[in-house]
Amino acid sequence: MSAPEPFSDLKTAEAQLAQAVAGFVPELGLNRMSFQAGAKAAGLSEGERDLIAPNGASDIAAILWRGHDAVLTSPGVMDALPGMKIREKINHLLNLRIDAFARDEKLAHRLTGFLMLPTHIDLHRRLMWDTADLIWRLAGDKALDENHYSKRTIVCGILAAAMLTRLSRGAEAQSEQISRNIDAVMEYEKFKAKMPFKPESAFLQLAASLGKLRFGQGQPAETGQ
């Protein structure tokens, strides 16, 4: 048996450890057992293992998730995007991202189960947000106004629902759900554009008023006695 190749950098080490652990996850789950087994299979000492992934299985989950994100920035995808409308870009990128996630269905089930545990929900939210942000940036969105957050929140919701649909009902149902949800969002945006006031404006005004009250700037001026 040949000796394992030395790691050239931390990113390479992360990817190789995560892939080694992933080989044990379908049977063992994503936990300390699969983490240790993967590190041993990769030829790592305990010190090397803990240096690469100090948070154990949580770090492996994040590395695997970001590995799935990487498909979105592959050259073929980047070359195809310029000719698409923005809704087509979002649709295309969401489907590509979920296809990468579900390529190994057993691993995808285990990863989803791990991230949906109450102790890992904050990690899940951060990873989901980062994916939604990447999708919007690749689609050409550079706005930093109040819509920056609402756009990413919407894509997080579509992504989360479509991932579960893929695991329970397959790729065709996933694609149909994404298209249907994007259409619903676009219809809402058209409806919102016709309204005499914008819902987010009302929310921001309320937040500003509450902030002034919180810091004592919204109190009426006192009159002298």
Same domain, 70 and 49: no
Same domain for 37 and 118, yes or no, is no
Q: Tell me, yes or no, whether 87 and 122 share the same domain.
A: yes
Q: 39 with 86, same domain? A: no
Query: Within a domain: residue 2?
Result: no
Q: Is residue 132 part of a domain?
A: yes
Residue 218: inside a domain, yes or no?
no
Regarding whether 25 and 95 lie in a shared domain, the answer is no
CA distances from 50 to 7, 21, 60, 62, 171 (A): 15, 13, 11, 15, 37
Per-residue pLDDT of the chain (225 residues; tens, 9 = 90+): 444 455 558 889 999 999 999 999 999 999 999 999 999 999 999 999 999 999 999 999 999 999 999 999 999 998 999 989 999 999 999 999 999 999 999 999 999 999 999 999 999 999 999 999 999 999 998 777 778 888 999 999 999 999 999 999 999 999 999 999 998 887 756 655 555 545 445 545 555 555 565 555 544 444 444
Neighbours of 190 (CB within 10 A): 9
pLDDT value of position 219: 47
Q: Is residue 216 part of a domain?
A: no
**Identity of the amino acid at 147:** N
The total number of structural domains that make up the chain: 2
pLDDT (0 to 100) of residue 17 = 97
- Closest Cα to residue 25, out of 59, 63, 61, 53? 61
Eight-class DSSP state of 85: -
Question: Is residue 207, in this structure, part of any structural domain at all?
Answer: no
pLDDT on residue 216: 56
What pLDDT is recorded for position 186? 76
By residue range, what is the domain housing residue 45?
10-54
pLDDT, residue 168, reads 96
Does 37 share its domain with 131?
A: no
Residue 3 lies inside a defined structural domain of this protein: no
